[in-house]
Amino acid sequence: MLTNKQKKKLLKNRKHQVSSESDYISQMKRYRKLFSDFPDVKFLINNVLESDHLIKSKLLPQELPELLLPEDIQDQIFKAINQRFDQDDPEGDKLWNQLTDALPKLDKALRSYRDYLEEQYGMWAYISGPFVKSLAAYIDHEAVLEIMAGNGYISKGLQDLNVKAYPTDSLEWLSENQTGKHQVTQIEKLDAVSAIEKYQDKVKYVIMSWAPDKGSVDLDVLNAIRKADHDLKLIVIGERNGATDSKAFWQQAHIIEPEVAKKLNAHHKPFDLIKDQVYLVD
């Protein structure tokens, strides 16, 4: 099992790979054409392309399968080529080399889809339409505050389902990250604790998605909610003891209602190295 340090190193390497590509989506379309005879591979690529198309159209995307090539893909290629070409046909050897040479590159591209979303759209947590629908059902039309909302994908999805959502963010990261130009709903400039103080008497739920694993802002949030004059429920989206939220936060957070969270996670399943989940925290 990968350690947190190893996972971060892999993610860093993938970020470099994505940023060096001139057109990630064009590359995926070329792979779809190249592997057109292999349904399992086409399925993965088509999911990436459909997801990108929906986000580009300012819609929440579909759920994603785990973006990993089949373990037996080389066997599938070998079998397909043997059925199509005679054993001594050089065209068969040429196609074999072309497909197998492309496999590691395609594997890296699939594993790098999250990095593409981060750089292209500023979407860090992958937020799908079915997940937001289940989240809205859980919230049951109660008002919600989203802190550290980034570009506001969760709040926008909830707003489209007639849930009163207040998206807030300190927006301090805008000077360093151009993805802030892709806000999908109006974000109120407020740091997390100030947002809780302002909206505690207007909402029942607070959503914190993908808080950084450095610093203490998430712990400040937890303490602010516990000290609030009103009973607030905290919904956390992140990787427990992993890529998101501080170690101190996970140590002090009380995870509650696991069966309810399990239902929410039915539409929020990992598709890459990050195993983020929904947690209800007290």
Pairwise pLDDT comparison (177 vs 161), residue with the higher score: 161
Match domain 129-281 to its CATH number in 3.40.50.150, 3.30.565.10, 3.60.21.10, 3.40.50.620. 3.40.50.150
Q: CA 271, CA 227: separation in Å to the nearest integer?
A: 36
Q: CA 144, CA 168: separation in Å to the nearest integer?
A: 11
pLDDT band at 212; cut points 50, 70, 90: very high
The pLDDT of residue 17 is above 70: no
> Which sequence spans correspond to the domains of the chain?
4-121, 129-281
Q: What SS3 state is found at 212?
A: coil
pLDDT score recorded for residue 5 = 47
The string of DSSP codes covering 162-174 is: T--EEEEE--GGG
pLDDT band at 193; cut points 50, 70, 90: very high
Q: CA 162, CA 141: separation in Å to the nearest integer?
A: 7
Q: Which residues pair with 126 in a beta bridge?
A: none
What is the pTM for the complete model shown? 0.88
Contact criterion met (CB below 8 Å) for 53 and 25:
no
